[in-house]
Amino acid sequence: MTDNVDRMLRPLMHTSREFYPFVAILGLVFVVSVYAYQQQLVYGMGVTGLNDVTIWGVYIANFIFFIGISHAGIAVSAAVRLLNAHRYKPIARIAELLTIVSLIMAGMSIVIDLGRPDRAMLLILEYANRFMYSPLVWDITAVATYLVLSTTYLYLPMRRDIKVAMERSTGWRARLFKYMLPLYEEGEEATIDRLSFWLAVTILPVMVMVHTTVAWIFSLLSSRPLWFNAFAGPYYIVAAVASGIASVMVIAAVVRKIYHWEDIIKPDLFRGLSNFTAMTTLVYLYMMMAEQLAALFAGPSGEVFVSEEWLFGSFAALFWLMTTLGLVIPFLYMLVQAFRKDYVNIEWTAAMSLMLVIAFWFKRYMIIVPTLSIGVQQVGIYSPTWTEIAILLGSFALPLLLYTVLTKVVPLMELEVEHDA
Amino acid sequence: MHEMLVYLALAAQSVASAMESTVNPLGRPLGLIVVGIIEAPVVVLLLAALIGKPRSPKITGLFLGWVFVMFGAFIGAVFFLSYLLGIFY
């Protein structure tokens, strides 16, 4: 038993040689992106490919993407707590961490997209005047609430694991864990379990509202083809759940390999997540087909135009590549795997999940760019500049960096898993 | 002449609809309803924290403190970023 606890706390206590070059590379990419952002601040949005017609581009695609990824943590963790799905417990905290890192990145994506980020404080100063009318303000409200509840949901149950880590460590690590454990009292677990249960109950509707309000930012604009859509909320939520769970599978496979947790993060866990992802991807493909069919068959002229550009025009290559390679092939792989009894190939499942995640990023790009650049039949050619690409790369390096550093501070696994075993 | 009247009527119509949209009786409560739906679970959570059992004043205090500090951190981060990035303007 002791041996297992030590293995679970290993990421906190030991740092491999590969850790430092990995962090250094991510740090370097991030520094380059900070330079690019500095250029954007100094010279204005003119250094990006954005223009009067295409006012949103890769930054807003990133925002929707990260909000989507953030759904995974709470979905998995709440399922563990509310549905007694104990077999997913080993990855619950891995997923919760992903939620928090993704939410931070979503917020940063909005700030990066602002031409005058120094005016971001107006969101708070003018809140009372804006929340009546603005879906953007509803979304900020939902994201802030979700972030606060998610950090609480991560921290409270983690206290018992921090206590164990503190008892097993010395020097600066022991002091750090002590600071992370204010007001500790013996027997607090029962109160924390009750609070965590209620957190799980209340955080789920907030999670749904977060992506619904993201969808409303677009779908309440009636003049934008393919945005004005009554089922945008559910449509976005399905994409969020599929891409989020796929991200969890990728990270869980990597963590499992690095820390040799093959006996803790078991194959049947991947099988369950893979089956669920296949189902949500199928629902998403169905919704995508329904959206395109309605637009092409009887949509207003703008909808027909944008839809034709998606399927047969200037965005067709990207659309079909994304749909076949990123959605259909992973779905078929996971479906075939689901029908093979007791079979799961973790490496291939992780690879297919990664393809899904990438495809969902491009899907978010497809939501934004065609509608804005050609949606009102104007010529608003959009092509991301090196500044945007550098910031984009940085926005992927930073969450990886944050996540990697957090694995050195936060126990990656609930130690109860060990007791359950 | 007829076309001129049509254009004038259309212009008046668009001005009227634009003016009405800011005081739309359906639009005003919609924001309240949405924010209410978003924040309602937080109210449930706070009630559950305060009146549920088993209860520990220390842990309940820690929980409430954490929630308020996190909200403060979010708002503080927005202000901090605004001031920090303001040096470029």
Q: Is A7 within a domain?
A: yes
pLDDT band at A342 (very low <50, low <70, confident <90, very high): confident
B1 and B15 assigned to the same domain: yes
What percent of chain B is modeled with pLDDT above 90? 36
Q: Which residues contact A63 (CB under 8 A, 6 or more apart)?
A: A106, A109, A110, A113, A214
Q: Is the dihedral of CA A232, A296, A300, A380 positive or negative?
A: positive
State the pLDDT at residue A417.
53
Cβ of A142 within 8 Å of Cβ of B38? The answer is yes
* pLDDT value at A421 more than 50: no
Cα(B45)–Cα(A83) distance, integer angstroms: 19
Mean pLDDT of A143-151: 93
Cβ of B41 within 8 Å of Cβ of A116? The answer is no
Q: Is A122 within a domain?
A: no
Does any CB of chain A come closer than 8 Å to the CB of residue B79? yes
CB contacts < 8 A (A, B): 124
B40 and B81 assigned to the same domain: no
Q: Which residues contact A413 (CB under 8 A, 6 or more apart)?
A: A8, A90, A93, A94, A261, A264
Q: Is A124 within a domain?
A: no
Q: Which of A41, A155, A191, A213 to mutate to test the interface with B (most CBs of B within 10 A)?
A: A191
State the pLDDT at residue A2.
56
Does any CB of chain A come closer than 8 Å to the CB of residue B32? yes
Which residues of chain B make contact with A119, given a CB cutoff of 8 A? 82
Q: How large is the ipTM?
A: 0.83
pLDDT band at B16 (very low <50, low <70, confident <90, very high): low
Give the gap in angstroms from C-alpha B1 to the nearest C-alpha of chain A.
30
Q: Is A34 within a domain?
A: yes
* pTM for this predicted structure: 0.90
Mean pLDDT of A164-180: 91
Does any CB of chain B come closer than 8 Å to the CB of residue A340? no
State the pLDDT at residue B25.
53
Which among B22, B38, B58 is the nearest to A141, CB-wise?
A: B38
B59 and B42 assigned to the same domain: no
pLDDT band at B3 (very low <50, low <70, confident <90, very high): low
What's the domain range around A308? 2-117+129-416
Does any CB of chain B come closer than 8 Å to the CB of residue A230? no
A211 within 8 A of B38, measured Cβ to Cβ: no
Written as one letter, the residue type at B25 is P
State the pLDDT at residue A351.
97
Cα(A214)–Cα(A210) distance, integer angstroms: 6
Residue of B nearest to A125 (CA): B79
B41 and B71 assigned to the same domain: no
pLDDT band at A123 (very low <50, low <70, confident <90, very high): confident
pLDDT band at A389 (very low <50, low <70, confident <90, very high): very high
**Greater model confidence, A6 or A67:** A67
Which residues of chain A make contact with B86, given a CB cutoff of 8 A? 118
B65 and B46 assigned to the same domain: no
pLDDT band at A378 (very low <50, low <70, confident <90, very high): low
Which among A141, A192, A198 is the nearest to B59, CB-wise?
A: A192
Cβ of A185 within 8 Å of Cβ of B28? The answer is no
Mean pLDDT of A287-309: 91
State the pLDDT at residue B23.
46
B65 and B44 assigned to the same domain: no
Mean pLDDT of A386-409: 95
Cβ of B38 within 8 Å of Cβ of A155? The answer is no
B41 and B1 assigned to the same domain: yes
Does any CB of chain B come closer than 8 Å to the CB of residue A228? no
What's the domain range around B46? 1-52
Alpha helices of A220-300 — where are they, by DSSP H? Answer: 232-258, 267-298
Residues A31, A35, A38, CA angle at the centre, nearest 5°?
135
Cβ of A133 within 8 Å of Cβ of B31? The answer is yes
Give the gap in angstroms from C-alpha B6 to the nearest C-alpha of chain A.
23
B31 and B44 assigned to the same domain: yes
Q: Is A421 within a domain?
A: no
Cα(A50)–Cα(A57) distance, integer angstroms: 7
pLDDT, tens digit (0-9, with 9 covering 90-100), for B33-42: 889 999 999 9
Cα(A405)–Cα(A400) distance, integer angstroms: 9
Mean pLDDT across chain A = 91
* pLDDT value at A18 more than 60: yes
A65 within 8 A of A243, measured Cβ to Cβ: yes
* pLDDT value at B14 more than 60: no
* DSSP labels, A98-129: HHHHHHHHHHHHHHHH-SSGGGTTHHHHTHHH
Q: Exposed e or buried b for every residue in A249-287, given b needs 16+ CB within 10 A?
A: bbbbbebbeebebeebbeeebbbbbbebbbbbbbbbbeb
State the pLDDT at residue B10.
61
Residue of A nearest to B44 (CA): A202
CATH number of the domain that residue A53 is part of:
1.20.1630.10
B45 and B71 assigned to the same domain: no
State the pLDDT at residue B11.
58
Q: Is A78 within a domain?
A: yes
Does any CB of chain B come closer than 8 Å to the CB of residue A179? no
Which residues of chain B make contact with A131, given a CB cutoff of 8 A? 31, 35
Q: Is A70 within a domain?
A: yes
Q: If we measure between CA atoms, which residue out of A322, A246, A338 comes closest to residue A285?
A: A322
Cα(B11)–Cα(B21) distance, integer angstroms: 15
B5 and B48 assigned to the same domain: yes
**Greater model confidence, A374 or A42:** A42
The structural domain count of chain A equals 1
Mean pLDDT of A321-347: 94
Mean pLDDT of A246-254: 96
Which residues of chain B make contact with A185, given a CB cutoff of 8 A? 56, 58-59
State the pLDDT at residue B57.
87
Cβ of B27 within 8 Å of Cβ of A133? The answer is yes
B59 and B48 assigned to the same domain: no
Mean pLDDT of A135-160: 92
Which residues of chain B make contact with A148, given a CB cutoff of 8 A? 67, 70-71, 74
pLDDT, tens digit (0-9, with 9 covering 90-100), for A70-106: 988 788 888 888 888 888 989 999 999 999 999 999 9
Tell how far CA B37 is from the center of its chain: 11
B12 and B48 assigned to the same domain: yes
The structural domain count of chain B equals 2
Mean pLDDT of A30-41: 96
